[in-house]
């Protein structure tokens, strides 16, 4: 009997050691969604979403729904990962950045975007027709329970990144075309503050709150740096990076900050408190923009659009462990179980009542 108990215990322990590590979901601009099994680090499924060009991607807290922002169709796809049923919801022109929060989807739309960034020295605010270019963008809010768009938040022209304050009372938005970061009331969408990045740099893109809620960081793509703001959205520091930084995220502990500098082909690591540079990885990947940690925080997965691959990187050593081919210009990447990264946040923000 003791031998049987020991055998059963061994089987149980082996089973615990082989627990499912989850999946990563990668949007590709010329394709749909590639599903990567985090156990094998291989693509196991491809999901088509309408006419294509999905960019932003998010997943619900329960892992049942995957959401993509589809440029070609000006809509969101709500994908039931169990049944594979897809529901599409119109949200506006050029939907791009997606955040899923408290049963709602927040997606940036860009009615003034020409589809590609202006060249340096040809910024929208210097153009003769700047007023035409600066059509205010909207952050569309979709209620997943109702299955419909319930409201819009007016932001700046060419809205890009979306973040939430730690206490859940504010939405923070980066606006590329007028070099601003706007802070809005979560419930009403009312504009509370506008922070101009122009004294520090141009074209804000990525935005992230630190896990403790004390800092906000935003990459300034055309100035090859990022800025650090305090919890009241006052400037603390400007930090130089490689060329064209975009994706940015703390690790789950908040003691390190990671920045993907696309044109330098680097993933750079900074101290999460004083923001001094610690390390960098030469990725050799082309247009590596967005990344996520794996749910166990041991690895980083970096989507490189122009080299059609996702890099699997050891989070501790920064060694590239694997290059996973992903066709069709991969753009965004998130995981389930949820992990922190440039497009998502593992930790739940402190809730507040939304009356």
Most confident of 71-75, 121-125, 199-203: 199-203
Over residues 179-190, mean pLDDT: 96
Give residue-wise pLDDT tens across range 17-28.
569 999 999 999
The secondary structure of residue 2, as a DSSP letter, is H
The residue whose two tokens read 């009372």 is 169
* 123 band by pLDDT with thresholds 50, 70 and 90: very low
Q: How many CA atoms lie within 13 A of 112 on its CB side?
A: 23
DSSP letter (8 states) at residue 300:
E
**Is residue 125 reached through a cis peptide bond, with omega within 30 degrees of 0 on the bond before it?**
no
- pLDDT one-digit tens code per residue, 101-110: 999 999 998 8
Evaluate whether 258 touches 248 at the Cβ level (below 8 Å). yes
Burial category of 316 from C-beta neighbours within 10 Å (exposed 0-12, middle 13-18, buried 19 and up): exposed
More confident residue, 117 or 69: 69
Q: What is the largest CA-CA distance in the chain?
A: 86
Please report which confidence band the pLDDT of residue 347 belongs to, taking 50, 70 and 90 as the band edges: low
Choose between 31 and 249: higher pLDDT. Answer: 249
Q: What is the rounded distance in angstroms from the CA atom of residue 6 to the CA atom of residue 14?
A: 12
pLDDT in tens, 237-253: 999 999 999 999 999 99
Residue 204, pLDDT score = 97
What pLDDT is stored for residue 326 in this prediction? 97
Q: 76 near 69, Cβ under 8 Å? A: yes
Under a CB-based contact definition with an 8 Å cutoff, are residues 26 and 7 in contact? no
Residue 176's Cβ-count burial label (10 Å; 0-12, 13-18, 19+) is buried
Q: What's the N-to-C CA distance of the chain in angstroms?
A: 60
Give which of 29, 33, 78 is closest to 55, Cα–Cα: 29
> Does 8 score more than 70 pLDDT?
no
pLDDT of residue 157: 86
CA angle in degrees (0–180, nearest 5) for 242-244-248 = 80
For each of the domains in the chain, give its residue range(s) and CATH number, in order of start: 21-121+134-336 (2.130.10.10)
Q: Quote the CA–CA distance of 156 and 21 in Å, as a whole number.
A: 39
Q: What is the pLDDT of residue 136?
A: 81
| pLDDT of 99 | 97
Task: State the Cα–Cα distance between residues 50 and 79, nearest whole angstrom.
Answer: 11
- DSSP lists the bridge partners of residue 80 as 65
Supply the pLDDT for residue 113.
57
- Mean pLDDT, residues 142-152: 95
Pick the closest to residue 67 from 336, 288, 270, 317 (CA basis). 336
What span, in angstroms and rounded, lies between the C-alpha atoms of 157 and 163? Answer: 17
Residues 6+ apart with CB under 8 A from 328: 28, 29, 30, 31, 308
Question: For the chain, how many helices (H) and strands (E)?
Answer: 2, 28
Separation between Cα atoms, residue 350 and residue 342, nearest integer Å? 20
Helices (H), the chain: 2-17, 130-133
């Amino acid at each position: 009997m003791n031998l049987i108990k020991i055998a059963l215990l061994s089987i149980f322990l082996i089973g615990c050691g082989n627990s499912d590590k989850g999946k990563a979901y990668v949007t590709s601009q010329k394709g749909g969604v590639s599903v990567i099994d985090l156990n094998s680090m291989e693509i196991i499924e491809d999901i088509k979403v309408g006419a294509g060009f999905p960019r932003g991607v998010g997943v619900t807290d329960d892992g049942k729904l995957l959401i993509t922002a589809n440029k070609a169709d000006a809509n969101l796809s709500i994908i039931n990962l169990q049944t594979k049923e897809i529901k599409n919801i119109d949200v506006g022109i050029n939907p791009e950045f997606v955040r899923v929060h408290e049963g709602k989807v927040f997606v940036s739309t860009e009615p003034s975007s020409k589809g590609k960034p202006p060249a340096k020295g040809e910024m929208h605010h210097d153009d003769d027709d700047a007023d035409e270019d600066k059509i205010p963008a909207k952050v569309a809010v979709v209620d997943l329970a109702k299955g419909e768009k319930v409201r819009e938040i007016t932001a700046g022209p060419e809205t890009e990144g979306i973040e939430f304050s730690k206490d859940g009372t504010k939405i923070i938005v980066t606006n590329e075309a007028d070099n601003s970061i706007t802070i809005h009331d979560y419930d009403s969408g009312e504009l509370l503050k506008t922070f101009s990045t122009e004294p520090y740099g141009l074209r804000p893109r990525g935005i992230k709150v630190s896990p403790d809620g004390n800092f906000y960081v935003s990459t300034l793509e055309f100035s090859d740096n990022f800025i650090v703001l305090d919890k009241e959205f006052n400037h603390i520091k400007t930090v130089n990076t490689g060329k064209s930084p975009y994706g940015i995220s703390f690790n789950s502990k908040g003691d390190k900050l990671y920045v993907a500098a696309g044109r330098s082909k680097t993933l750079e690591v900074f101290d999460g408190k004083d923001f001094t540079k610690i390390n960098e990885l030469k990725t050799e990947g082309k247009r590596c923009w967005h990344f996520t940690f794996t749910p166990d925080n041991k690895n980083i997965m970096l989507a490189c659009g122009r080299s059609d691959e996702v890099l699997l990187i050891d989070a501790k050593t920064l060694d590239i462990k694997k290059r996973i081919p992903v066709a069709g210009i991969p753009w965004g990447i998130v995981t389930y179980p949820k992990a922190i990264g440039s497009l998502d946040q593992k930790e739940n923000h402190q809730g507040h009542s939304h009356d």
